[in-house]
Amino acid sequence: MACVAVVLRQCDIVIRRAMSVRSKNLSSVFYADSYHPIQAGSIDGTDVVPHDNAVYRAQLCSTIGLYDPHGDPKATGDSYCTLFVARLSRLTTQDTLHKVMSKYGQVKNLRLVRDIVTGASRGYAFVEYETEREMRRAYMDAHHLIVDDCEIIVDYNRQQLMTGWIPRRLGGGLSGKKESGQLRFGGREKPFRAPLKPIPYEELKKLGIPPPPEGRYMSRFQVVPSPPRRERSLSDREEDSHKHRRGSDDRNRKEDALRSSVDIKEGHYRNRSRHRDDEHSRGRSSSERSGRYHERSSSEKEHLHHRSTDKDKRSSSEKEHRHRSSTDKDKHSRKRKERDEPSQTQGKYSRHSPHKD
């Protein structure tokens, strides 16, 4: 029983590892840099045999060279500034699409592809912008946009920029609907899935199919690769470097001017703050002076009041003293008079006494 339990546990571990690897591979994808019909018809990019007649027809056109991507007289304009817009509503007009795509830049040319016989829209168009930057902006932001109740898809002009391109009408193309049974992988909408089976490197090398990039897979939720960039010539690079230098010089001048203006503003601000501080200090000094003056005046008033009260007290005390002295003098004078009067009466009687006579 113990041996059976150990075996079951090991089997469970192996199954879990396989499931984890499979789930990891399901979320890992990669994109095609060049077009090969047999690889585009495979979900993981490892098929070596066409699985339907449409893929066989596309492979035949690619081998014999029946399709020239640059031979279409209607495909005019700069391919690096052109977007491919698909899954449009049959009721979407050229003016409506022009209005929608003008949100991302200035549209130089717009061509809504129509049926040759009926003139009805075929559900896709080509939009050319003035600059490559505007095209890239629309490439990133306009994908899965709702236009006339339809979710559109946006891709770069693979007809002229992708090596080995074969259009849908010849059995090639990318993406597609599941109901048609002709799905094509490797593009923006339906990338290749990481292989679940061993990769046949020798057969892929014989057919000229690039093998899957093992160890360099991307996540399904990562940002898709950007469109190919224009190859710059030596004169263009020198002109770009010259423009970059002029732009850097202009930036440096603007930064210097901005710094000088900032310094001037800071100087004005400092002068104003100093002036305000001086005014504040002056106001404080004047207020302190006025306070000191009021304190001095109040203390002087109190001192004068005390002096006046002291003078009044002194004058009143002097008056009282004078009054006392005058009353004492009167008393002494009266006493003297009273003393002198009996002595005078005695003298009179002594002078005229009868005994002496």
- DSSP secondary structure string for all residues of 93-130: -HHHHHHHHGGGS-EEEEEEEE-TTT--EEEEEEEEES
Q: Do 230 and 284 belong to one domain?
A: no
* Residue 62, φ and ψ in degrees, nearest 5: -70, -35
**Same domain for 215 and 111:** yes
Task: Report whether 37 contacts 166 (CB < 8 A).
Answer: yes
Residue 251, token pair as written in the block: 């930036």
Amino acid 96: pLDDT: 92
Do 186 and 281 lie in one domain? The reply is no
Ranges 112-126, 171-185, 266-280, 285-299, most confident: 112-126
- pLDDT score, position 274: 73
Asked if the structure places residue 346 within a domain, the reply is no
174 contacts: CB under 8 Å, gap ≥ 6 = 40, 155, 158, 184, 185, 186, 187, 188, 189, 190
Q: Give the three-class secondary structure for 194.
A: coil
Enumerate the β-bridge partners of residue 121: 114
Those residues with Cβ within 8 angstroms of residue 55's Cβ, 6 or more apart along the chain or in another chain = 37, 38, 40, 41, 171
Amino acid identity for residue 51 in this structure: H
Q: Residue 348 — very low, low, confident or very high, per pLDDT cuts 50/70/90?
A: very low
Q: The whole model's pTM is what?
A: 0.58
**Any residues with CB less than 8 A from the CB of 139 and at least 6 apart, and which?**
83, 154, 155, 156, 226, 227
Cβ count within 10 A of residue 124: 16
Tens of pLDDT along 247-289? 677 777 877 788 777 777 777 767 777 767 666 666 555 566 5
Residue 128 gets the label, from left (phi > 0), alpha (psi -120 to 50) or beta, of beta
Give the three-class secondary structure for 175.
strand
For residue range 177-215, what is the model confidence (pLDDT) as tens digits? 776 678 888 888 888 888 888 888 888 888 888 888 877
Which of 193, 216, 235 is the endpoint of a domain?
Answer: 235
Q: Which ranges in 215-233 belong to alpha helices (H)? A: none
Residues listed for the chain: 357
Q: CA-to-CA distance for 196 and 214, rounded, in angstroms? A: 12
CB-neighbour burial class of residue 299 (10 A; exposed 0-12, middle 13-18, buried 19+): exposed
CB 61 within 8 A of CB 166: yes
Q: Are both 266 and 169 inside the same structural domain?
A: no
User: Do residue 150 and residue 210 come from a single domain?
Assistant: yes
Mean confidence (pLDDT) of the chain: 77
Say if CB 166 and CB 64 are below 8 A apart: no
What pLDDT sits at residue 263? 72
Specify if 194 maps to a domain: yes
Contacting residues for 205 by C-beta, under 8 A, at least 6 apart: 211
Rg for the chain, CA atoms, rounded: 58
Q: What is the pLDDT of residue 71?
A: 77
| Same domain, yes or no: 253 and 331 | yes
pLDDT, one tens digit per residue, over 39-98 is: 888 888 888 888 888 888 888 888 888 888 877 777 788 889 999 999 999 999 999 999
- Residues 251 and 218 occupy one common structural domain: no
The SS3 of residue 29 is strand
What pLDDT, on a 0 to 100 scale, did the predictor assign at position 103? 92
User: How many domains does the chain fold into?
Assistant: 2
Residue owning tokens 């199954």: 15
| Mean pLDDT in residue range 151-166 | 89
- Per the CB < 8 A criterion, the answer to whether 160 and 153 are in contact is no
Do 199 and 211 contact (CB within 8 A), yes or no? yes
DSSP reduced 3-state for 143:
coil
2 in any annotated domain: no
pLDDT given for residue 27 in this prediction: 76
Determine the structural domain holding residue 100 and report its residue range.
32-235
Phi, psi of 116 (to 5 degrees): -65, -35
Place of tokens 């292989």: 195
CATH of the domain at 82: 3.30.70.330
Residue 17 included in any domain: no
Same domain, 165 and 274: no
User: Could you give the maximum distance between any two Cα atoms of the chain, in Å?
Assistant: 206
123 and 182 belong to one structural domain: yes
